[in-house]
Amino acid sequence: MASVGAKAGIDLSVRNFTQEELRAKWPKLIPGTYTHASQATPRYNCFAFAVGDDRHWWEPEMHGGRFRWAEGVGDGIDSWAQVFVLNGYEPTNNLDHEDGYEKVAIYVELETLRPSHVAISDGVTWKSKLGKLQDIEHATLNQLEGDYEWEYGIVERVLRRRINQ
């Protein structure tokens, strides 16, 4: 099984990638359409980032030490979505930002349809933790979609939760 947020067989060095390096791996990340949000770290991944945990790496069926996963929840798109439903999210077909809602978007690989990445929205912008690399804020979900280099496939599921006001 590939690690969450990284394709199998890819060594993600723990450092911030330059704009040129990011564009080489995700060609739709055009300078000016995303911003650097935090430093690279191997401590947490995209799933952990989406659930607000910057101290653990969330991986299906991994428990203990620096690894976390929801107890009794398996792997696969329905299981990943279930973790968010357990945290107050509901499915939606709207991929756009919505005032008063935070969202999560779950990507799946094109070949296997297995979950590969999670992006979050605060109702204004999308944010992603790029494996062990830095976090970015990006304008659209499709900027990370595709099957070239490190692209994450396609967005398969979007869930939303009302922002506490």
Q: List the one residue out of 60, 37, 56 whose CA is nearest residue 45.
A: 56
Question: Is residue 76 within 8 Å of residue 83, measured between CB atoms?
Answer: no
Q: Quote the CA–CA distance of 27 and 68 in Å, as a whole number.
A: 31
Q: Are 117 and 107 in contact (CB under 8 A)?
A: yes
- What is the rounded distance in angstroms from the CA atom of residue 88 to the CA atom of residue 21? 36
pLDDT value at residue 71? 87
pLDDT per position in the chain (165 positions), as tens?
445 555 444 445 579 999 999 999 999 999 999 999 999 999 999 999 999 999 999 999 788 888 999 888 889 999 999 999 999 999 999 999 898 999 999 999 999 999 999 999 999 999 999 999 999 999 999 999 999 989 999 999 999 999 985
pLDDT of residue 63: 80
pTM: 0.89
Q: Give me the pLDDT at residue 8, please.
A: 43
Between CA 86 and CA 94 the distance in angstroms is 20
